[in-house]
Structure 1
Amino acid sequence: MPYPRSIDSLWSGATLVTMKEGQYQLIEDGVIAVDQGKIIWIGKREALPDISAQAHHHFDGGIITPGFIDCHTHLVFGGDRSAEFEMRLNGMSYAQIAAQGGGIISTVRHTREADEEELLRSARQRLQHLLHEGVTTVEIKSGYGLDIDNEIKMLRVIRKIGELLPVEVYATCLAAHAVPPEFNGDSDRWVEVVCEQLLPRVAQEKLADAVDAFCEHLAFSPVQTEKVFSAARTLGMPVKLHAEQLSALAGSSLAAQYQALSADHLEYATDADAQAMAAANTVAVLLPGAFYLLREKQQPPVAAFRKHGVPMAVASDANPGTSPALSLRLMLNMACTLFGLTPEEALAGVTLHAAQALGIRESHGSLECGKVANFVHWPVARPAELVYWLGGQLPCTVIYQGEKRDSIF
């Protein structure tokens, strides 16, 4: 194919971990050619065609991976719940904490009290840790406002983050996260508000890229969840679902019926759920941070996902209550040690399969011609080292949309 007379940049001197088709597919002594923020050629240095570049960046060894994608977070919220964490460790039950005004209602209260500037400031501080570890794309959910104005406020903050920082941000409306305290447990009435008032406004103002819900006995039933999905479909918005975290309600099968981008958590998913997800090409998003902090015992059915060919993503689930996780690399390790993923599967879980969970697999998640030039150079010998090390920050060079991402804040 013909190439421009002079392209923007060449990147060489490292082993390329392309993650094409969700596998390492290494290219030793590789070169990436970038123009106008896209990868236009990739291969071994010896096969590089006659391309001149305005800049040539050469690394002294190491590996280059696709930019990391954190496809499930709750980074925007007010306050924190570290005091409740300590109370639980001192023997107080979740019910006792909730009776004292704690739990998700505590976060809802603090989120409602915070203005957009305060929410933006605190979310940027949390996001900074993820960006320093090679994250170039992140999904952020609402769900702590739990009324129309505050859900809209959260989604505006999420959009603002994407405008201000060198990271691609995908916004998800998770208004069906819990029942607002003022509704006194009337979940049907809140679902009606979400479907008939909130989601149409979100769609009209283009504040979200997808719609999520929490299908669980302590949140919303499959029947209520389907109402949310139906409303989202009418508005042309894709769906995803918190499913099978605490019990088996076949929420992931319901998600598959609606061609959901993903079903997330999935500790209690069944073989039938896995088959339904595979048929719908719905991604299983594994969240080891919440599994770890809640000291759960039931593991997601990884063997069934493998058997039926369900793509598995891995995410931080960064949130104030059950997964205050600010390291996606730590989640890679946990996915392997707690859930039995291989390092290759885990890395696919924060690259190609995470991209699929956001509906952007055609343009993100692997090092291939035509895809967005989001990639990371790591001074390590092999990909497994990204999963192996616990704690600390591995130094890395992040290339975001074809340009070196220097200072984040």
Structure 2
Amino acid sequence: MSSCESNCQLDRPSSRQLDLRSDDVIIRDEAITCIDATGKIVLPGFVDPHTHFVFGGYREDEFNLRLQGASYMDIMRMGGGIAATNRATHAASEIELYEEGYKRMERMLDLGITTVEGKTGYGEDTATEDKMLRVMEQLDRDHPVDVVKTYLGAHAVPPSWKGRSGEYIDYLIKEGLPMAAGRAEFCDIFTEEGVFSLEESEKLLRAAKELGFKLKMHADEIEPIGGAGLAAKLGAVSADHLLKAKDEDLFAMRDAGCIACVLPLTAFSLREPYARARFMIDHGLAVALGTDLNPGSCYSQSIPLMIALATIYMKLTIEETITAITLNSAAAIDRADRIGSLEKGKAADVVILDCPGYRHLSYHFAMNLVDTVIKKGDIVRRPCDLSC
């Protein structure tokens, strides 16, 4: 994206030919609804391509431990981390998970997010993973924000499988993948030292691919073990985190057309160096930005803070950042042909910002400037909804 314009023409897909010349009209059933965006900014709806937004329980005590110097892996070794959320999610009822997930989606909509990717991964058994998928399926039906579902059975090795990660992968291939096939679009895995090896990751992902899953990976977040290179090798749609990814693996991703999904809110929360998004862009990678909303390493879905971190600390331009939260994020969930930009033939997912110029997204940093949200041509957030 070389520039953003404050005056955008919106052509809503229709079964009949439309020729819209005004930039402030939506045509529905021969009726015209006028939206006065004078002095405001019109952008595509924001896309969050990496979240864990359905979960039980919270881990604020772990956050305080990290503030005192404990590392993410230290907490995992103490029985906390993902395992703690697994226990809480297993204990939570389906309605409890649904109600909390719905509240989080309401906040997403307030922030201009019109499509979100959501992962399973907090079940120590297939039944809990199935429960999480059912919750996301119902939320997708009930809430304006579209939910793109990812199966992440290989998020961590459950305590009952400790020391048997290879056997756990076999269990997921036999039980988990068939349960999620046809329901979750993507399969993901946490490829990391002390979690799942490259060999285990490749075994699971190849099995998932045979069942029709598209692939994602948590790659090279803590140690540079080559997850990004494996993502390129397997034709993954995206590799995510990438804080410690090696140059040669990033170049392999570029050559394979694999999207680099970076998660600055997580690095901020963990006080880790940010992924090298500037280096990636300068070397031809397509970079997307995701929040990584989850109860442990990043309990935040703040698009405004993410924009601030991307521009101030990761050295992206505001134009690159807007692309990374719209079109490139859509590409990271294989939807760039449907959403992520305002052009004829795509869904009318739109955010209107109450500011004089798009650069205010970084200049007026960490503030929610969203005025109105439109999803598939419907106004789903008005100014009074956001301020009253």
Residues 61-210 of structure 1: pairs in structure 2 closer than 5 A? 61-92=39-70, 97-98=75-76, 101-203=79-181, 206-210=182-186
AA in 1 matched with 2:233: Q
Change (3 A) 1:310 1:242: same
Contact 1:285/1:313 (CA < 8 Å) preserved in 2? Answer: yes
Count of residue pairs brought into register by the alignment: 379
What is the alpha-carbon distance in structure 1 between the residues aligned to residue 66 and residue 14 of structure 2? Answer: 51
Normalising by structure 1, report the TM-score.
Answer: 0.87
For residue 310 of structure 1, give the secondary structure of its aligned residue in structure 2.
coil
Deviation at 1:278, TM superposition (A): 1.1
What is the aligned partner in structure 2 of residue 359 from structure 1?
334
What is the aligned partner in structure 1 of residue 346 from structure 2?
371
Residues 255-294 of structure 1: pairs in structure 2 closer than 5 A? 255-294=231-270
What is the aligned partner in structure 2 of residue 13 from structure 1?
none
Deviation at 1:257, TM superposition (A): 1.3
What is the aligned partner in structure 2 of residue 228 from structure 1?
204
Change (3 A) 1:42 1:322: farther
What is the aligned partner in structure 2 of residue 48 from structure 1?
none
Change (3 A) 1:26 1:129: same
Indicate yes or no: 2:387 matched with 1:404: no
Indicate yes or no: 2:339 matched with 1:339: no
What is the alpha-carbon distance in structure 2 between the residues aligned to residue 159 and residue 229 of structure 1? Answer: 23
Change (3 A) 1:91 1:57: closer
What is the alpha-carbon distance in structure 1 between the residues aligned to residue 84 and residue 177 of structure 2? Answer: 24
What is the alpha-carbon distance in structure 2 between the residues aligned to residue 313 and residue 175 of structure 1? Answer: 23
Deviation at 1:99, TM superposition (A): 5.8
Change (3 A) 1:232 1:385: same
What is the alpha-carbon distance in structure 2 between the residues aligned to residue 35 and residue 239 of structure 1? Answer: 29
What is the alpha-carbon distance in structure 2 between the residues aligned to residue 96 and residue 215 of structure 1? Answer: 17
Contact 1:38/1:402 (CA < 8 Å) preserved in 2? Answer: no
Residues 8-27 of structure 1: pairs in structure 2 closer than 5 A? 22-26=1-5
Change (3 A) 1:306 1:59: closer
Indicate yes or no: 2:193 matched with 1:214: no
Deviation at 1:42, TM superposition (A): 6.4
Deviation at 1:248, TM superposition (A): 1.0
What is the alpha-carbon distance in structure 2 between the residues aligned to residue 66 and residue 304 of structure 1? Answer: 26
Contact 1:156/1:207 (CA < 8 Å) preserved in 2? Answer: no
Deviation at 1:259, TM superposition (A): 1.3
What is the aligned partner in structure 1 of residue 26 from structure 2?
none
Change (3 A) 1:381 1:220: same
What is the alpha-carbon distance in structure 2 between the residues aligned to residue 78 and residue 55 of structure 1? Answer: 41
- Identity fraction in percent: 37
Change (3 A) 1:300 1:98: closer
Deviation at 1:53, TM superposition (A): 5.2
Q: Which moved more, 1:243-252 or 1:84-93?
A: 84-93
Change (3 A) 1:62 1:406: closer
Change (3 A) 1:357 1:96: closer
Deviation at 1:303, TM superposition (A): 4.0
Contact 2:110/2:381 (CA < 8 Å) preserved in 1? Answer: no
Deviation at 1:367, TM superposition (A): 0.7
Contact 1:27/1:44 (CA < 8 Å) preserved in 2? Answer: no
Contact 1:129/1:327 (CA < 8 Å) preserved in 2? Answer: no
Contact 1:37/1:403 (CA < 8 Å) preserved in 2? Answer: no
Deviation at 1:344, TM superposition (A): 1.0
Q: Which moved more, 1:385-394 or 1:255-264?
A: 385-394
CA deviation vs aligned residue, 1:196-251 (integer Å, no higher than 9, x gap):
22101211xx2201000011002111100001110111011100100011111111
CA deviation vs aligned residue, 1:36-70 (integer Å, no higher than 9, x gap):
4999556676xxxxxx8533323222110000000
CA deviation vs aligned residue, 1:79-122 (integer Å, no higher than 9, x gap):
00012212332455656645654222111110000011111111
AA in 2 matched with 1:24: S
Given the alignment, which residue of 210, 213, 216 partners 1:240? 216
Unpaired runs of 5+ in structure 1?
A: 1-21, 46-51
Deviation at 1:293, TM superposition (A): 1.1
What is the aligned partner in structure 1 of residue 27 from structure 2?
none
Deviation at 1:316, TM superposition (A): 0.5
Normalising by structure 2, report the TM-score.
Answer: 0.91
CA deviation vs aligned residue, 1:9-49 (integer Å, no higher than 9, x gap):
xxxxxxxxxxxxx3434264x4424354999556676xxxx
What is the aligned partner in structure 2 of residue 7 from structure 1?
none
What is the aligned partner in structure 2 of residue 300 from structure 1?
275
Which structure's residues are more often strand, by fraction?
Answer: 1
Contact 2:307/2:366 (CA < 8 Å) preserved in 1? Answer: no
AA in 1 matched with 2:202: E
Deviation at 1:384, TM superposition (A): 1.7
Deviation at 1:301, TM superposition (A): 2.8
Change (3 A) 1:35 1:252: closer
What is the aligned partner in structure 2 of residue 15 from structure 1?
none
Contact 2:287/2:328 (CA < 8 Å) preserved in 1? Answer: yes
AA in 1 matched with 2:330: A
